A and B are shown apart, each in its own frame.
Chain A
């Protein structure tokens, strides 16, 4: 008697057996345990704190705040992205481990919001610097809207490819990754030169 035959037998352990691919099981686990970065930018962050609090109870989605980008699965861009902050956000995003996701919360980070015309200091949409998975509209969004966005992100993670991802990657994506690697290498060299210039002199003295 095989495993499949026992599935429908109510007197056996059939009710406790589930069958699926490894990818399904991994994605199921990942989608129910998303850790996010403790990171807020503007008034959307206040609304997000309401999501965190007892009434909306964000932790029932398996979401735990983490203080380090190395430990987080997704980042919530909650508020106005100023040009000064945009560079920091990009750096934080690059420090996160793959697979990583971005939730853009509110009009400001979606498209610049009320600063779209005269905001000389505002980035008009965070998707100009990092890829966004889910956009949540609102100014700021209600906690219900945020939870809906979270459910959408979970369903996205649940239906994601893991194993064939590299093989199915388009040539444009490969080129973009190679390009970024070259840029990062250049940044590393610049930093090394800068460090030598400033700190090695101090040590000699």
Chain B
């Protein structure tokens, strides 16, 4: 199924929640969607006959300046097609519904995006830091992050 076909299927089902399709050559074809309805869209992509995305390749957080983005890379081992789903949320209220229960492997991916970028995945059962120490302050992959001077008495700067 081509990206445009997937886009049309989603558009018929969800209407205005599906914002745009980006098919720029050289990039992964990406569909931008509304974050509020992301769980239903993901369930549709997983279960609908003909789409059947059964392999969630990756979930990444992105700092876009004013907004935070979350990028879902999906692949179907059965149908051999792939698609990228993107959402954007404002930085002062970065709430995205958790897709942890759609594909369980997004559990740790979402924890990583929370750890490094501070995306708040609403409904995640265990949203705490996964890589950094549990008492770390701030989210270091944000563009406006300032390195601490000391951590537990150890100097951080060179």
Contacts and interface: CB of A to CB of B under 8 A. Distances in A.
Asked if A and B bind, the verdict is yes
Interface in A52-90: 83-84, 86-87
A116 B158 contact: yes
Interface residues of B, number: 13
Contacts, number: 28
Contact of B155 (A111, A116, A128): A128
A103 B147 CA distance: 29
B158 A83 contact: no
Interface residues of A, number: 14
Interface stretch (A14-22, A118-126, A134-142): A118-126
Contact of B133 (A83, A112, A124): A83
Interface of A: 83-84, 86-87, 111-112, 116-117, 120-121, 123-124, 128-129
A111 B151 CA distance: 17
B6 to A, nearest CB: 38
Contact of B154 (A112, A116, A120, A123): A123
B156 A120 contact: yes
Given A83-B133, A86-B154, 13 more contacts: A83-B152, A83-B156, A84-B132, A112-B158, A116-B158, A120-B145, A120-B156, A121-B132, A123-B154, A124-B155, A128-B154, A128-B155, A129-B154
Contacts of B147: 120
B140 A120 contact: yes
Nearest to A112: B158
Instruction: With a 10 A CB-CB cut-off, give which of A121, A124, A129 has the most chain B CB atoms.
Output: A121
Contacts of A123: 154
Nearest to B152: A87
Contacts of A124: 155-158
Given A120-B140, A121-B132, A121-B140, A83 B145 contact: no
A44 to B, nearest CB: 20
B152 A117 contact: no
B140 A83 contact: no
Nearest to A86: B154
Contacts of A84: 132-133
Interface string B134-146: 0000001000010
A164 B66 CA distance: 65
A87 B151 CA distance: 11
Contacts of B158: 111-112, 116-117, 124
A2 B11 CA distance: 104
A37 to B, nearest CB: 21
Nearest to A129: B154
Contacts of B140: 120-121
A116 B155 CA distance: 12
Contacts of B133: 83-84
Nearest to A124: B158
Instruction: With a 10 A CB-CB cut-off, give which of B133, B148, B154, B155 has the most chain A CB atoms.
Output: B154
A168 to B, nearest CB: 30
